[in-house]
Chain A
């Protein structure tokens, strides 16, 4: 009984209705229990109408969440500005002037209309004009097999089975190769070796998903040299597409190859999901991004495409 009265007393001190309040307490009005009960202001309408409204909102939110964000300016009929390839190149070359040419590349970002939880586009591409040529391949294959012979003649920097595992374990931070492929017969040996911890973070672990386990080492190596891998992330595919010293012709061929390859990828997964290319943006290492309109020639007739092919 005593405790209740105590509690009541404390309540009385807190409530604003008690007139002789001690001046020291600085509790704002909204914290103290108010005397009058608050009436929640509804937006109006009957309960049914409100329920319908709520249902609508829910649906809207759900619909919005299914796809990655799209912008109305980006679609071809939008009012966003688009550029021909030569125009974009002219701006980008101007933005990159004086940078060391070896460290500057043209890049492409491709926006894809897609649902959030669907399969992603992921593949490898060989450009007609490779961006860089520093591919060093390591091959895991049984010692003394045909595959090993292929690897040796194909120019792999390291090959073998147990010797490779030892090599990887010994100098994990300074591997001689930057691509690793594995022959189908050696997969079990690879899995037993427990190298996932070393190779996984480097993105080198051979797997079917990354298309690096093969029966024919020869063809795989051939298509890997000078190839770039790409994958869709949050609805966008980004890839370096050319050296800053490329001519417009070279760059346009690379872009065409890239887009054709993406379209082929989409066609291959068509039965499962439908994807759609929304916009293609050309940018460079330090430059702004230009939405391409598919055209080639510059709008300024004084500029010849050949002018964009000179050294920086």
Chain B
């Protein structure tokens, strides 16, 4: 098992999962997200992929109740769209404080990877065209269209982030020291081996 000290350092990097691009709380009328893009990055599918890899985990962390479904196809010529499903005002008002929790079974019954489904009654869809866009641009558009509130890390967390950074720098220094030590050792061993060979050769020559 991985050494817990090491594991804790990895978990410190979990701060990355809480704060950074994509750390935002979605307004309650958003019922779900659906992303549709290709498996490979050619033809402008890199942006959506990076958005999924970097921003979506943070969005999921802050909005655990919002289903975020991804459908990836092998068709690179196809579109790359992000669909945001809004509950209409009346439906949102009728909804309980924890709206998505009240119908998990219906959501689960739906296949989890399929083309974006049409909106249900009382829902409207806003789409973002992600093809040939940088993930930052996608995030910008997403935040603007959803009206999400961006979260800033607290001073404590900032401090912790700085410590993590320091740890990383320290690790780089340590690694270089270690590398130098190992390289020196290997060089010396090589030298020794060569010297031994030469000594052997001289001994043989003199016999």
Contacts and interface: CB of A to CB of B under 8 A. Distances in A.
B68 interface: yes
Contact of A91 (B17, B35, B113): B17
Interface string B166-197: 00000000000000000000000001100110
Contacts of A20: none
B135 to A, nearest CB: 14
A71 B101 contact: no
B122 interface: no
Contacts of A312: 67-69, 112
Nearest to A97: B60
Given A27-B195, A28-B195, A236-B1, A307 B17 contact: no
Nearest to B113: A100
Nearest to B109: A311
A97 to B, nearest CB: 4
B94 interface: no
B79 interface: no
Which of A27, A101, A307 has most B Cβ within 10 Å?
A307
Contacts of B98: 304, 306-307
Nearest to A95: B57
Interface string B1-37: 1111101101100100100000000000000000100
A157 B38 CA distance: 39
B69 A306 contact: no
Interface residues of B, number: 45
A85 to B, nearest CB: 14
A289 interface: yes
Nearest to A98: B70
A10 B1 contact: no
Nearest to B102: A306
Nearest to B1: A236
B153 interface: no
A302 to B, nearest CB: 9
A19 B108 CA distance: 90
Interface in B107-159: 107-108, 110, 112-113
Contact of B8 (A26, A27, A81, A91): A81
Interface in B33-58: 35, 52, 56-58
Interface of B: 1-5, 7-8, 10-11, 14, 17, 35, 52, 56-61, 64-70, 98, 100-101, 104, 107-108, 110, 112-113, 191-192, 195-196, 198-199, 202-203, 206-207
Interface of A: 6, 9-10, 13-14, 25-28, 31, 71, 73-74, 78, 80-81, 90-91, 93-95, 97-98, 100-101, 109, 111, 234-236, 245, 247, 279, 281, 288-291, 303-304, 306-312
11 contacts: A26-B195, A28-B191, A80-B4, A94-B17, A94-B61, A94-B64, A97-B59, A97-B70, A306-B104, A308-B65, A310-B67
The 8 A-B pairs at the shortest CB distance, nearest first, are namely A98-B70, A307-B65, A94-B61, A306-B101, A10-B206, A73-B4, A97-B60, A311-B67
